[in-house]
Amino acid sequence: MTVSVIIVNRDGGDLIVQCLRSVERKLSSEYEIVVVDNGSSDESVKTISKLFPRVRVIMLGRNAGFAAANNIGAASAKSDFFLLLNYDTILLSDLSPALLLMQNQPEVGILGARMVSADGKIRLSTGRFPAFIHAFHLSGLYLPIEVHHSKSSFIVNGWIEGSFMLVRRCLWEQLGGMDDGFFMYFEDVDLCYRAQSEGYLTVYHPSVCYVHYGGYSQDRMAMLKNGLIRYFGKTRPILIMPIIRFLIEIAFLLRRIKYIVVGNRYTRCTS
């Protein structure tokens, strides 16, 4: 098999069914699908087993987090390339151009694709590595929308988001997979940072496209904050971390106050 598609599921419902059907329609290369279920309470696991008998389902019985579940899925995968794919996505194109690029350019370790909303508008899916100011201005993490409209591939001096992440197996094993100290958010940023530290390239490849329904909401802000703190804890001197942690807490408190006052909601979705 050329590629192992690894999907973390939690109460995916109809969304994961759409996702799996799109994989079956669009992938022309030899592939396997591994679904890691993070303690779903709906009927999605039964539905997957009924409709997609070729899909291998690993049931964790608990919510282990996005990073840990991907690590478990990758440990059982058999291919030279892993496609980490969110359950709330739909593939719109074949992976062949992306796989061909990675097969011909061994220095490319991680590849991301063009992400669009359900109505076809481009969504921001790649950005720069976090600086402290981004705690106060999260949208500043992303590269400008004009960059995302690029028609040709380019090297990203930063990260691509984990809803679609094509990773070389040997790199994954070299890095030890994702850092499962991240429960959700910034595990993709951390993986790209460590890959580039090892000399591998991260590439945005817009000829491959997918729909992503997901976004942020206020009830996930605590996980976002904790992910950012952990990322800085791994990339900044330990002596200044108490100050960084304090200022991040202030930044997210201000964000919470702004939400209460004006009803603002942060989301990745943009046109």
Q: What pLDDT was estimated at residue 71?
A: 98
Confidence (pLDDT) at 266: 42
**Residues 123 and 269 sit within 8 Å (Cβ to Cβ):** yes
Q: How confident is the model at residue 269 (pLDDT cuts 50, 70, 90)?
A: very low
CA dihedral 243, 247, 248, 251 (to 10 degrees): 180
What size, in residues, is the chain?
271
Does position 16 have pLDDT exceeding 70, yes or no? yes
Of these ranges, 25-29, 109-113, 143-147, the one predicted with the greatest mean pLDDT is 109-113
Residue boundaries of the structural domains of the chain: 3-215, 220-262
pLDDT at position 267, please? 43
Tokens of 54: 């070729």
The residue behind tokens 């279920």 is 37
Task: Identify the residue with better confidence: 138 or 83.
Answer: 83
Instruction: Work out the mean pLDDT of the chain and round it to a whole number.
Output: 91
CATH class given for the domain over 3-215: alpha beta
Name the token pair of 109.
Answer: 């370790």
Q: Quote the pLDDT of residue 215.
A: 66
Give the pLDDT confidence score for residue 218 in this predicted structure.
66
Is the predicted pLDDT of residue 264 greater than 70, yes or no?
no
Give pLDDT tens digits for 162-196: 999 999 999 999 999 999 999 989 999 999 999 99
Residue with tokens 């108490």: 242
pLDDT at 53 over 90: yes
Q: pTM of the entire structure?
A: 0.90
Q: Which residues contact 39 (CB under 8 A, 6 or more apart)?
A: 10, 60, 61, 62, 63, 64
CA distance 25 to 142: 31
The answer, yes or no, to whether residue 226 has pLDDT greater than 80, is: yes
